[in-house]
Structure 1
């Protein structure tokens, strides 16, 4: 097998080595210009540090986890997409503080992963959407993931293309003292596609489910802004209820207290 080519790219203040593949070059230009998810990198810049373990659930081709490896003590990447896993594995030798878990966040031992626009795109989902290829992948529960991460403080980013609605109860495990913060991407348009019935009913389901996700945690406090929207009410009304197609957003939750440095015994660290 021919070795995958790599190249260096600078974005949001860090130079990162990524896979040099033609299908991503247009995206890389957007990334280098700072136009891709600036709020995500702002949150990572604010909340990562040399004492923080970063968990990236839905690591895609490594754009956020490898960038974060420059700022965090340790990085855990959860990625089930077979093409993305190949890309990530080719880069891992360059990032000694990054660990890849080749699985999907799920309480199930095995789930079906669907490629909406082919594997390797950013839209692979465990939701029953699209008519592309599919593959069975291993599941990893949040409890197991937190045990692997070990002592806090932890910062977690979740971007799983609509599956966040299905496993909301699983996400509740993050409402824990060692978790410093969570950035949760919500995809109401994808969730709406999985619903049945009249259009107004499906929109209402997506609206209610997003509201519940925004109020998911007790220890972790939702920030005033939701993505580019000044408040949750504005997002729910303008971004979902009144929008022709519901718009996605990132919801940032932060611990109201100082995260515990160690809330699990050291022997729970992976490999021990």
Structure 2
């Protein structure tokens, strides 16, 4: 279905908000309904400008850390296919509820209640249902055991991901092991990677290593912003600074990095 077929928000629809020109519906009875109504319309707008620029009607998108659908429901209005991974039971329940409200793009969404990791198995994680649930963390009041798939298992289940052109990774610190485990896949498919680094969970050395790995595979870094002391600066495309992309972070908590394997038509703009 083309983007032009996306149903618009109508004034009478209380469970619909417009985000960077794209209508997104949500379950009005869900826990985060108030957040959708009041925060989502202006939440991380620059991130969605990035999505709009790089995601096309033929794009296959992998959303690692889908939370309640805040990115995937929007992306499914633009892309051919969006595969969403969310290991938190509480968040996944809301994700399913919200996806059900978006009938015009439901066929383009595949939702999996799993974590993506370097190895198959199980992992303990918090289950608050908020955007900061973490694997490998024990909370006696709110803890679950979640299934972990490795990339091989994911590709067997969804062969279309061999054509992945855009990946969003927001794994609350699990990027430490995940990104290196994806190296051969990234080398082969050469997608654009939108990575959220989490300084509260990673050392400076780990963050530097992840960025170096991605920059080797995707040497064109279109944007980076981090509001605290450690920062990457002066990345260039063909010898000149990139100044055409919007600010790429709205939070002092995360470092949001955009990597692309080729400059595409950005340099011609």
Shift of 1:167: 2.9
Show the counterpart of 2:65. 58
Show the counterpart of 1:46. 53
Alignment RMSD (CA, Å): 2.6
Shift of 1:92: 3.7
The residue correspondences of 1:99-248 to structure 2 (distance < 5 A) are 99-115=110-126, 118-128=127-137, 132-147=141-156, 148-150=158-160, 151-191=162-202, 206-217=203-214, 218-223=216-221, 225-227=223-225, 232-233=232-233, 247-248=253-254
Deviating runs (4+, > 3 A) in structure 1? 129-132
Aligned residues, how many? Answer: 224
42-51 or 85-94: bigger deviation: 85-94
The residue correspondences of 1:17-36 to structure 2 (distance < 5 A) are 17-20=25-28, 21-26=30-35, 28-32=37-41, 34=42, 36=43
| Residues 13/224 of structure 1: CA separation in 2 closer, same or farther (3 Å cut) | closer
Preserved contact between residue 57 and residue 80 of structure 2 (Cα < 8 Å)? yes
SS in 1 for 2:48: helix
Preserved contact between residue 18 and residue 24 of structure 2 (Cα < 8 Å)? yes
Match of 2:24 among 16, 20, 27: 16
Query: Matches of 2:139 and 2:44 in 1, distance apart?
Result: 24
Query: Matches of 1:187 and 1:255 in 2, distance apart?
Result: 23
Query: Matches of 2:183 and 2:99 in 1, distance apart?
Result: 30
| Residues 164/12 of structure 1: CA separation in 2 closer, same or farther (3 Å cut) | same
Q: TM-score, normalised by structure 1?
A: 0.73
Listed as ranges, the gaps of 5+ residues in structure 2 are 1-13, 236-251, 265-269
Q: TM-score, normalised by structure 2?
A: 0.74
